[in-house]
Amino acid sequence: MDHTENTPDLNPSKAAQKQARVVEKFVGVMLWVTLFGFVVMVLRFYQYGWGVVPAIQTLLAMLFVAALLLRKRFPMLNVFALAIAVLIGLSLLGVVRFGLAAPTLSFLAVLPIVVTVVWGVRPGFLTLAAAMGGTFAISRLYLNGGQLPIIDIATYHENPVNWFGFIFISVVSSLLGILVAGFRLNYWRETNAELVAETKRRMASDLKRGVAEQWLESVAEAVPGVIFELELDNERKGIIRHISPGCFELWGMHGHEIEHDMDSFRKIFTPEHTQEFRDAIFSSETTGKAWTGRWRARTPQGEEKWIHVSGRPHLNKMGLTTWYCIALDVSNEVRAEQEARRQTEIAQQAERQKSIGQLTGGVAHDFNNILAIIMGNLEIMLEDLQQGDLREMIENCLEATERGGELTQSMLAFARKAPLDPTVLDINDVTRSARNWIGRTLPENIEVETSLLAGLWPVEADKSTTISALLNLILNARDAMPDGGKLTIETANVRIDQDYISAKDQDLRPGRYVMLAVSDTGVGISSATLENIFDPFFTTKGPGEGSGMGLPMVQGFIKQSGGSIQVYSEPGVGTTFKLYFHALGSDSVRPEKPRIEISADQKAKAHILVAEDEKGVRENICELLEREGFQVTAAENGDEAFKIFVNKPTFDLLLTDIVMPGNLQGTTLAKALRGDYPNLAVVFMTGYASEAAVHGNGLRAEDIRLSKPVRRKDLVKAVTDSLNFGTSKLQ
């Protein structure tokens, strides 16, 4: 800022006006004085004729009157200067006429002082030089005899009128000096008072401005962001000025760095956001409205942030558009919004899968009951028929029924309702067993590599479904490498914390897990396909080549087992599927109870209570068991079965469906009966898994669970194995 702005000064036009008023007052006073002197000097006219003094008085009076009359048309200082010049000339003329006796000599002494007071020292010296120069020239005339006074000095001094004229001229000249000095002194006093007032006003203004600037600096430092001024130059390039102190904290650059290196500052924003930023500014310049935007930026230190910027335009003194802007770090708000959207999407996806799972599970459950009736009757028909074409047709029907059962199992697995028989497993053993037979299913141009961690933690999962899930992933990897490649199976112990769960959007509990990974170097999976690979019946294979239930079954199984599945894929590079099984403690291996083989006679004596609400399934199961030699009693539901058992507690085994109408379901029926008969053997049949969990609902680890539809051999084996654990009657 220029220091001259703080120097108090009066307005030049006001000073000139004030000085003109002073001169005008002086001229007015001198007018009255000269008029009075003119009246006195009129007597000289009769004595000496038209002499010098009356002439001087007359000319001065005429001059002052003209000045007063024409003061609005001519500057008073100019008139005053003319009056001074005339007065000097007339004073010198008086010296020419009277010599040293001229009363106008006093004017020549006073006028330089008057000029000095009004215009300054230099004009005063010039006036003195003119007066003395004229006097010296007149003195030469007298000394050389070229000029003589018009009067006799002795006679001149004897006339009282001459003395009066001399006194008058002396008084007028003195009065001229006194008035000019007095008016000038008053002018200085008034000016000084105005200067003092102006100084005080400016000091108060500077103090107020200093307080305001300090307040603005405090606000700029307190704002959680950056305040700055943005300007477009003549080349339409942005220039940032007046940046608040929070610049480095927000952008990772100091204010002077941005002001001198706008190119580096522009690189902070991503290219697409830089263009949006420019478009917003140009639109604001056109419309004159404020602009606002939210853009992603990366600081020179590599930190990524979301910046909210807003600005209001105005025209500066140069006619260029300038914006007063504020920039705020809204990274936390953006992350919160993204997290809220992500959680909403997760909830929507979970709700969608839940709805699909309920629909799929319900359809599969009902279809299983239908298949159970068909399969049971086909097996009875097959037993009664001799060899022939009809028997072969029935066997084909049974195979088709089994395939239908496998399809419903996949549907139930996706719905997390597949009947599972969890046991303690070593995933390395499962992988080794799979390694032995996958060579027969893979072409020679696919290399298989295993990386199995020694000391792998045990897990609890259904063994057959685990093998099925692994096989499904291996076959998918094979199909992804039609031209060959490398397939890798890996196991590892991992610890998963809450941060990992939050980052991966996993429905898991923090703890220890065993990872089973299957990787391939195939074609990879596109991002669009990745969003749908776990949807039921979704497949990228051709018609008849895939059911679209493989990966949904794997996902449903691993989640039902308390684990998770992750997929990583890059088109053209390959894909990796990772299954996470919840690891057990070192004391989780359950000791097996010794089996007691029962004889054929004991088997024939066994009495089985069957509880099944589906009439066709109930009749079919009873028929199959009776053909095996068992004694069978049937009940339509759990309530009826409980009454039958209580009235005749001679049953060795309870074979019950889990889901039935009435108060007592399969699990609650078993629990109620075991309250009085703890050794009662129980076999459960179901199309769901949520009712057949190992823990809860009164089920025991040794209880056998059958998934509908059930083949005759599986049913007989389950009953026999359950009875082999021993009951009070058979031991």
- Does the domain formed by 223-329 have CATH 3.20.20.80? no
Write the pLDDT tens digit of every residue in 40-84.
555 555 555 555 555 555 666 666 666 666 656 656 667 677 777
> What residue spans of 49-159 are helical by DSSP H?
52-69, 76-98, 105-119, 121-143, 153-158
3-state secondary structure of 236: coil
What are the helix and strand counts (H, E) for the chain?
23, 17
Q: Which residue has the higher pLDDT, 557 or 546?
A: 557
Q: By C-alpha distance, which of 593, 588, 592, 595 is closest to 424?
A: 588
Query: Which one of 3.30.565.10, 3.40.50.2300, 3.40.1350.10, 3.30.1220.10 gives the CATH number of domain 420-582?
Result: 3.30.565.10
Taking 70 as the threshold, does the pLDDT of residue 418 lie above it?
no
pLDDT band at 458 (very low <50, low <70, confident <90, very high): very high
d(CA 221, CA 244): 7
Write the pLDDT tens digit of every residue in 262-300.
666 667 777 666 777 777 777 777 777 877 778 777 777
pLDDT, residue 593, reads 45
pLDDT band at 38 (very low <50, low <70, confident <90, very high): low
Average pLDDT over residues 336-363: 65
Region label for 384, one of left (φ > 0), alpha (ψ between -120 and 50) or beta (otherwise) = alpha
Taking 50 as the threshold, does the pLDDT of residue 529 lie above it?
yes
pLDDT band at 389 (very low <50, low <70, confident <90, very high): low
Cβ neighbourhood burial of 105 (10 Å; 0-12, 13-18, 19+): buried
The listed range with the strongest mean pLDDT (100-109, 415-424, 515-524) is: 515-524
> Given 3-state DSSP classes, what are the helix, strand and coil percentages for the chain, each rounded to the nearest 5?
55, 15, 30
Q: Write out the H or E segment, with its range, that includes residue 225.
A: strand 225-232
d(CA 357, CA 672): 31
Strand order in the sheet with 574-582: 446-451, 485-496, 511-520, 574-582, 564-570
The residues, any chain, with a CB within 8 Å of residue 129's CB and separated by 6 or more, are none
d(CA 726, CA 679): 8
Beta 485-496 vs 564-570: how paired, if at all? unpaired
pLDDT, residue 730, reads 41
How many other CB atoms are there within 10 angstroms of residue 92's CB atom?
Answer: 21
Write the pLDDT tens digit of every residue in 603-633.
567 889 999 988 888 888 888 888 888 889 9
Average pLDDT over residues 692-717: 67
Q: Which residue has the higher pLDDT, 17 or 676?
A: 676
Going from the C-alpha of 505 to that of each of 304, 391, 499, 518, 562, the distances in angstroms are: 22, 53, 10, 21, 15
Q: Which residue has the higher pLDDT, 415 or 443?
A: 443
Q: What angle do CA 501, 503, 504 make, to 5 degrees?
A: 65
d(CA 91, CA 131): 9
Lowest-pLDDT range of 56-70, 567-581, 655-669: 56-70
pLDDT band at 411 (very low <50, low <70, confident <90, very high): low
> How many residues in total does the chain contain?
731
Q: By C-alpha distance, which of 637, 673, 639 is closest to 653?
A: 673
Domain borders along the chain are 3-195, 223-329, 338-412, 420-582, 600-724
3-state secondary structure of 540: coil
* CATH of the domain spanning 600-724: 3.40.50.2300
pLDDT, residue 654, reads 92
How many other CB atoms are there within 10 angstroms of residue 688's CB atom?
Answer: 21
